[in-house]
Amino acid sequence: MDLITPDLGLLFWTGLVFVLLLFLLTKFAWKPILNMVNTREQKITEALELAEKTKAEMQQLAAQNEELLKEARATRDTMIKEAKSTADKMVEDAKSKAKEEAEKVIENARVSINAEKVAAVAELKAQMAAFSIEIAEKVVRENLSSDEKQKTLADKLVGEINLN
């Protein structure tokens, strides 16, 4: 029965010690410890959040960089393309112009050659006509040197006319 009967003296000391203990520990141990632990937990949470945010930002930045790079590459490609086409066009233009020029020169040459030719032919014709007249005069003069010869010729001519 002793074993399960609370003892007044011990109860008094227990009460005194426990209440003191509760008060001291609460004030000087548990509250500071819990506060610090809470602060630390908050810090850790914040740090984790920050890390997560930074990571997201980094990812965004990397994506942006990629985008920029892509754009730059595209711009470069178009620029090269344009430059190439411009150069091609210039070469083409130069070529066609040169060709035109050459054709023009050739044409001019041809025209002048033709003119020369025509002039030459005309002169030749005129020369030929003069020569012909001279020859014809000489022939006529020869053929008409006697009457007989005149008559023969006349006949021959008449005969030719009849044939016609």
Partner 1 sequence: MIGQNTIKSVLLAISVLLVSLVSFAETTHKKDELELEHEFDISGLIMHHIKDAHEIHLWGGAHDGVSIYLPIILLDNGTKVFSSSHLYHGEEMTAEDHATHETIHYTVGVGPAEGYALYHEKIYKLDNGELHFEDGHPHNAKPTSLSMTKNVIVLLIVALLVCWFAFSTAKYYKKNGAVAPKGIAKFIEPLVIFVRDDIAKDNIGEHKYMKYTPYLLTIFFFILTGNLLGLLPMLGANLTGNITITFFLAVCTLLATVFSGNKNYWKHIFATPGVPKPLLIIMMPIELVGILTKPFALMIRLFANMTAGHVIILAFVGIIFINKNIAWGALSVPMALFISVLEILVAFLQAYLFAMLSALFISAAVEEDHH
Q: Using CB under 8 A as the criterion, which residues of the chain lie in contact with partner 1 when the complex forms?
A: 2-15, 17-18, 20-22, 24-26, 28-34, 36-37, 39-40, 43
Q: How far is the CB of 49 from partner 1 (least distance, A)?
A: 17
Q: 143 and 150 in contact (C-beta within 8 Å)?
A: yes
3-state class percentages of the chain: helix first, strand second, coil last, to nearest 5: 95, 0, 5
Q: How far is the CB of 55 from partner 1 (least distance, A)?
A: 23
> Which lies closer to partner 1 via its Cβ, residue 15 or residue 159?
15
Q: How far is the CB of 77 from partner 1 (least distance, A)?
A: 55
> Which lies closer to partner 1 via its Cβ, residue 19 or residue 58?
19
Buried b (16+ CB within 10 A) or exposed e, 51-83: eeeeeeeeeeeeeeeeeeeeeeeeeeeeeeeee
> Which lies closer to partner 1 via its Cβ, residue 8 or residue 161?
8
